[in-house]
Amino acid sequence: MPILIVWFIIVLKQRKNALKRFGETHLIKVLMPDVSTLRYKWKFILSTLALTFLILAVANPQIGSKLQEVKRKGVEVIIALDVSNSMLAEDIKPNRLDAAKHAISKLIDNLSGNNIGLIVFAGDAYTQLPVTSDYSAAKMFLSAINTNIVPVQGTAIGKAIEQAEKSFKTDDSKNKALIIITDGENHEDDAVKIAEEAHKKGIIVNTIGLGSQKGTPIPVYDRFGRKDYRKDKDGNIIMTKLNEKLLADIARAGGGSFIVADNSGFGLKKIVENIESMDKQEFDSKIYSDYESRFQYFAGLAIFFLILELIVLERKNKHFKHINIFKVNKDLQ
């Protein structure tokens, strides 16, 4: 807005200098009786006010930041997402990891009333988001996940299950669910046995498998966007494929469901139904009430001043140009 005002002042000076080249100012006013500099300035002021209120409307001012405590009934759900390099394979579009993140975002929308946590794992497992009822925070942390977030590469599904055991807040043995999303290329531990032990502690372990069984290469892009494929130490292209049997065994040992995801969908409906059928626990959670938007008032003022600007003409009105309310009538003196 300051730049706009400075620009207008410069334009006014240029107009004034241009008129001076034609003659004396008072003579020009006589020659151009319908021209009104004042109206030109008023149109600018009205346009500026309209633009100011339009900017405020777009900024969407809000009120109502009241903290309230509510009671919820639900289960604790932890999602463990594989972030190893094999998750960059593009047999699921755009790649396994991005497709998984999109599916998790949709899953979060369908877990109303439940608490949720996020774990990332590759060669080791880490808590990305502790169990919470704040779905907005869950989506924010989800968006930040990439293959560089874990320093140790590999795939240790068992460590992800063990990390989930530590992350559950409740001691109740009937309302804890773990969803593992991976291609199943486990190289580190006995994930089936660990899943079985977790199930004995009341954790339902579900698995979602990503990728094709025939295998696909792992793309690598340089800084110019040129595509190559990840190779082993002998120069051979590494092929990554879904270990369907392992993931099915983990789900069976964990008392949960196994789903194979593909480009047509992740089949999350079954897992959501299983979670909804679990025994619910009542827990307290503090949330902020929704803010109420007030953009409409500023939008209304912007429209009002814009209409005024359109009504005010640059030229004097022929019906009112002879009227001057400030003129003193000498006959009355």
pLDDT digits (tens, 9 = 90+) for 201-245: 989 999 999 888 888 898 888 888 788 888 888 888 888 889 999
Mean pLDDT estimate for the chain: 82
Query: What is the pLDDT averaged over residues 160-184?
Result: 86
The pLDDT value recorded for residue 117 is: 94
Give residue-wise pLDDT tens across range 55-111: 999 998 887 665 666 667 788 999 999 999 999 999 888 899 999 999 899 888 887
pLDDT of residue 331: 52
Structure token digits, residue 48: 């500026």
Bridge partners of residue 239, in order along the sequence: 217
Burial readout 159-187 (b: 16 or more C-beta within 10 A, e: otherwise): bbbbbbeebbeeeeeebbbbbbbbbbbbe
Distance CA 327, CA 264 (A): 80
321-326: list long-range contacts, CB under 8 Å, 24+ apart.
Answer: 321/33, 321/34
Cα–Cα–Cα angle for 78, 190, 242, rounded to 5 degrees: 70
Most confident listed range (54-63, 155-164, 269-278): 155-164
Rounded Cα distance between 98 and 87, Å, is 9
Share of the chain above pLDDT 70, in %: 81
Q: Indicate if the pLDDT at residue 122 is higher than 70.
A: yes
Residue range 164-170: average pLDDT? 87
Q: How confident is the model at residue 172 (pLDDT cuts 50, 70, 90)?
A: low
pLDDT of residue 34: 60
Question: Per the structure block, which two tokens stand in for 116?
Answer: 């949720």
- The listed range with the strongest mean pLDDT (183-187, 191-195, 320-324) is 191-195
Count other C-beta atoms under 10 Å from residue 25's C-beta.
10
Q: Which amino acid is at 34?
A: D
pLDDT band at 44 (very low <50, low <70, confident <90, very high): confident
- Considering only residues 209 and 273, tell me which one the structure prediction assigns the higher pLDDT: 209
% of the chain at pLDDT higher than 90: 34
- Residue 124 makes CB contacts below 8 A (sequence gap 6+) with 150, 151, 152, 154, 156, 159
Is the CB of residue 110 less than 8 Å from the CB of residue 43? no
